[in-house]
A = this chain, B = another copy of it.
């Protein structure tokens, strides 16, 4: 019913700082201060202001704040997938670190597409983020250019920077591949295959580790490698194992580039009466939650994704505060979890 004289273009007649100021009888800036730096406002005033804010239901306008302060309090996070426990866990670590510090997290899901990543980044840059957290070092030239000119700290996640220049938190994917394959060799497996999908740089590095391990043991045979660019899934693991067994029937172990695949491979064996690990050993990667419960349980590599998210966020915070951390590259390691399947 009331027609506020002031509001000319005001979107929905939302309560502004000025409304609160009028109500309390002070200037707008004082309200602003009371909200952001309460200690700089007198006790009495602060109390009256808090009340007025409550009564009027004042809610600061994000856009106005971002515009006036030239700080968005926003951190952009670029991940290749959300349907993967790994990145959801990473996001948890990021969120739990950044949220208490007053940052909004803008999630960009590129679906393993570099082009989509480019679009996302380009769009999100209009937000003038205070920081950007990206997955991996493999991007389009344009993305690299955008990141370089973003004017805010950029932290790379999941892998280590080989040039050692850029801030990053991750672990050596190559070492993972090496360690797991060495483990299989050590357990006496002789004809070890590798099942790869997606083909992102992290998978390729694990694969490289696998190859180097076998070559060193003089057991490498390209016929036992299987790669398709499709996105990972349990079903795909089952299908690919069928194909691998056809191509290399003498396989005695498969290293699946991730646990989804490994679970699918295991189910395939269950269905076809192939005993695991007696006839065929199966190992995965990432140690997804279900892998401890399958029968047999899956040997895998546990990756510190939550910790990566957390540390990456912390690193961003340091960088954003203008600190010069002595360390900007964090290798958080990994753990080989030996279970029943190999």
Report if A263-B235 is in contact (Cβ < 8 Å); known contacts: A14-B128, A63-B72, A128-B63.
Answer: no
| Complex: A196 Cα to B299 Cα, angstroms | 30
Q: Is the CB of B62 within 8 A of A126?
A: yes
Residues of A whose CB lies within 8 Å of any CB of B are 9-12, 14, 57, 59-67, 70-72, 82-83, 85, 88-89, 91, 95, 104, 106-107, 109, 122-123, 125-128, 149, 151, 233-235, 238, 263-264, 267, 270-271, 289-290, 292-295
Chain B residues with CB under 8 A of A71: 11
Q: Is the CB of B128 within 8 A of A11?
A: yes
Q: Is the CB of A127 within 8 A of B62?
A: yes
Nearest CB on B from A341, distance (A):
13
Q: Is the CB of B61 within 8 A of A128?
A: yes
Q: Is the CB of A264 within 8 A of B235?
A: no
The 10 closest A-B pairs by CB, nearest first: A11-B70, A63-B66, A12-B151, A270-B295, A62-B126, A63-B67, A234-B290, A63-B63, A267-B293, A62-B127
Q: Which residue of B lies closest to A237 (CB)?
A: B293
Copies in the complex: 2
User: Which one of B59, B64, B88 lies within 8 Å of A83 (CB-CB)?
Assistant: B88
| Complex: A13 Cα to B33 Cα, angstroms | 26
Chain B residues with CB under 8 A of A235: 289, 292-293
- Give 25 pairs: A residue, B residue, CB < 8 Å, sorted on A: A11-B71, A11-B151, A14-B128, A14-B151, A61-B128, A62-B63, A62-B66, A63-B66, A63-B127, A63-B128, A64-B67, A67-B67, A82-B91, A95-B109, A104-B106, A106-B106, A234-B290, A234-B293, A235-B289, A263-B290, A264-B293, A267-B294, A267-B295, A270-B295, A290-B290
| Complex: A334 Cα to B123 Cα, angstroms | 36
Q: Is the CB of B61 within 8 A of A67?
A: yes
Q: Is the CB of A126 within 8 A of B293?
A: no
| Complex: A14 Cα to B146 Cα, angstroms | 13
Q: Is the CB of B66 within 8 A of A289?
A: no
Chain B residues with CB under 8 A of A233: 289
Nearest CB on B from A82, distance (A):
5
Report if A126-B267 is in contact (Cβ < 8 Å); known contacts: A9-B70, A235-B293, A290-B290.
Answer: no
Q: Is the CB of A126 within 8 A of B59?
A: yes
Nearest CB on B from A228, distance (A):
17
Q: Which residue of B lies closest to A89 (CB)?
A: B83
Nearest CB on B from A32, distance (A):
14
Q: Is the CB of B10 within 8 A of A70?
A: yes
| Complex: A335 Cα to B87 Cα, angstroms | 30
Interface centre among A59, A82, A125, A149 (most CB of B within 10 A): A82
